[in-house]
Amino acid sequence: MTVVAGGASAARPQLIREINEQVLLDHLRRSGPMARTELARLSGLSKPTVSAALGSLERSGLVHVIGQRTGVPGPAAVVYDVRPEAGFVLGLDVGREYLRGAIADLAGTVRSRASVRTKAVDAMTRVNGLAELAVKLLAEAGISAEEVTQTVLGSPGVYDPRVDRLTLTGRLSGWDSPAVLAGLRERFGPGLMIENDIDAAALAERVHGHGRDVESFAFVSVGTGIGMGLVLDGKLRHGFHGVAGEISYLPFTEGSGSDARDARRRGSFDASASAAAVVRAARRAGVPGASSAEKVFAAAARGDAVAAAVVTEEALLVAKAICSVIAVVDPELVVLGGGIGQAPGFLEAVVHQLSRLSPVMPEVRVTDLGAETVVSGCISAGLDRAWLNLVGRAGNSGS
């Protein structure tokens, strides 16, 4: 549906050409290569119009002819497709122990992918590590840096555009320094977007995961840390200060209010529900060998009643968080991710607790995307942005 926003500005005939080119590109992106006639049918535009628009798009290098399709009576149909080389997107993921990245063309095909372990404790070393990773990815894909039209970095913390700062970077020490932002900008240029890592994962979920066919959903990640990416009406919400989805700051100061300092830095809910908190709780309860959250869950699965109680308590906490999200925005779907979120049986435990708290029940599912989620989310965010820019540019320079 075409939407006219509130304070709309006047429209010229050119606008409708822009819209229609956008529409055709969208169809090509979504449904793959197609002949003119099919595009006409799908879009509802007439054949001459489709021909003209494709001509314009071809002149600006955004689509190209990839072949002929025959087999049916009549002349061979000319098949168009998006020109993947019209631009490239670099997606990066900076974590505490890993740096990951990938390069994709505008069609979304990944041209190179890499992941390196990092022992960096210094923030600038991490910045350099990312730059090196990018160089490696470019070389592997055989692409020059200039061809990258969009770079997206998935990072812990939130970027607040109003004050141009990264904040709440939590476990990544020094990452909220302005020097980091400056260093990243210097190395990756003005095409750099910074996205919260869990928000990026939510975007991946929207494109490749369970979020594909819903309007609004919440991706809730429970593991080393706790966070959420919120997609409403198909769009990721950042909030005014960029902290939308920072559910680690939900005010549940349950029992173990030990680390007040920790609570301020990473959120009180994080302090009571992250993997470390599970381990703490298990130890306090006397679960033997509770050295990691994984082992606690394993013990519970084996039938250890005390460990099971810890797991139940954790499920209750997560259910409370989800219930809060429901009470505020009422999403259609909740996707669980992260080490704890994906633990076997955890979904059921959460749903059970949630059904006792919440006035309505959304779908709740576990993600089936893997470790590369953040990178692919960055890439899909970058692709969207890149396409928008390209069509805008094409509309202005073309014709």
| Interface contacts to a copy of itself, rule CB under 8 A | 1-13, 15-16, 18-20, 22-23, 26, 43-45, 168, 215-216, 228, 230, 232, 234, 237-252, 267-269, 319-320, 323-332, 357-360, 362
Closest distance of CB 392 from DNA, Å = 13
**C-beta of 73 vs 359, nearer to DNA:** 73
**C-beta of 149 vs 196, nearer to a copy of itself:** 196
Q: Find all residues with CB under 8 Å of 33, minimum gap 6, and list them.
A: 66, 67, 79, 80, 81
Q: Three-state DSSP class for 364?
A: strand
Crossing angle of the two packed helices 305-329 and 275-285, in degrees rounded to 10: 140
Each residue 5-44 as x (binds DNA by CB under 7 A) or -, in order, gives -----xxxxx-xx--x--------------xxx------x
Closest CA to 116 of 130, 103, 127, 135: 130
Closest distance of CB 72 from DNA, Å = 5
Report the partner that residue 48 touches, choosing among a copy of itself, DNA, none (CB closer than 5 to 8 A by kind).
Answer: DNA
Each residue 61-100 as x (binds DNA by CB under 7 A) or -, in order, gives ---------xxxxxxxxx----------------------
* Binder of DNA out of 26, 29, 42, 45 (CB under 7 A): 45
**What is the Cα–Cα distance from 188 to 76, expressed in whole angstroms?**
45
- Two tokens at 67? 């072949």
**What is the Cα–Cα distance from 223 to 342, expressed in whole angstroms?**
9
Report the partner that residue 280 touches, choosing among a copy of itself, DNA, none (CB closer than 5 to 8 A by kind).
Answer: none
* Tally of CB atoms within 10 A around 117: 9
Report the partner that residue 36 touches, choosing among DNA, a copy of itself, none (CB closer than 5 to 8 A by kind).
Answer: DNA
CA gyration radius, the chain: 24
- Two tokens at 176? 């909220």
Report the partner that residue 329 touches, choosing among a copy of itself, DNA, none (CB closer than 5 to 8 A by kind).
Answer: a copy of itself
Q: Is the dihedral of CA 367, 371, 372, 373 positive or negative?
A: positive
Closest distance of CB 243 from a copy of itself, Å = 5
Closest distance of CB 183 from a copy of itself, Å = 25
**C-beta of 353 vs 367, nearer to a copy of itself:** 353
Q: Which helix (H) or strand (E) holds 305?
A: helix 305-329
**C-beta of 23 vs 317, nearer to DNA:** 23
Closest distance of CB 49 from DNA, Å = 3
- Two tokens at 73? 């009576």
3 contributes a contact to DNA by CB under 7 A: no
Q: Find all residues with CB under 8 Å of 253, minimum gap 6, and list them.
A: 263, 268, 272
Crossing angle of the two packed helices 293-302 and 275-285, in degrees rounded to 10: 50
Q: Which helix (H) or strand (E) holds 148?
A: strand 148-155
Report the partner that residue 112 touches, choosing among DNA, a copy of itself, none (CB closer than 5 to 8 A by kind).
Answer: none
Q: Is the dihedral of CA 192, 198, 201, 206 positive or negative?
A: negative
> How far is C-alpha 155 from the chain's CA centre?
11
Report the partner that residue 75 touches, choosing among DNA, a copy of itself, none (CB closer than 5 to 8 A by kind).
Answer: DNA
The region of 45-53, 214-222, 245-253, 303-311 touching DNA under the rule CB under 7 A is 45-53
- Two tokens at 198? 């869990």
Q: Which residue has the tokens 């009571």?
A: 272
**C-beta of 183 vs 377, nearer to a copy of itself:** 377
214, 139 in Cβ contact below 8 A?
A: no
**C-beta of 10 vs 360, nearer to DNA:** 10
Interface contacts to DNA, rule CB under 7 A: 10-14, 16-17, 20, 35-37, 44-49, 51-53, 70-78, 399
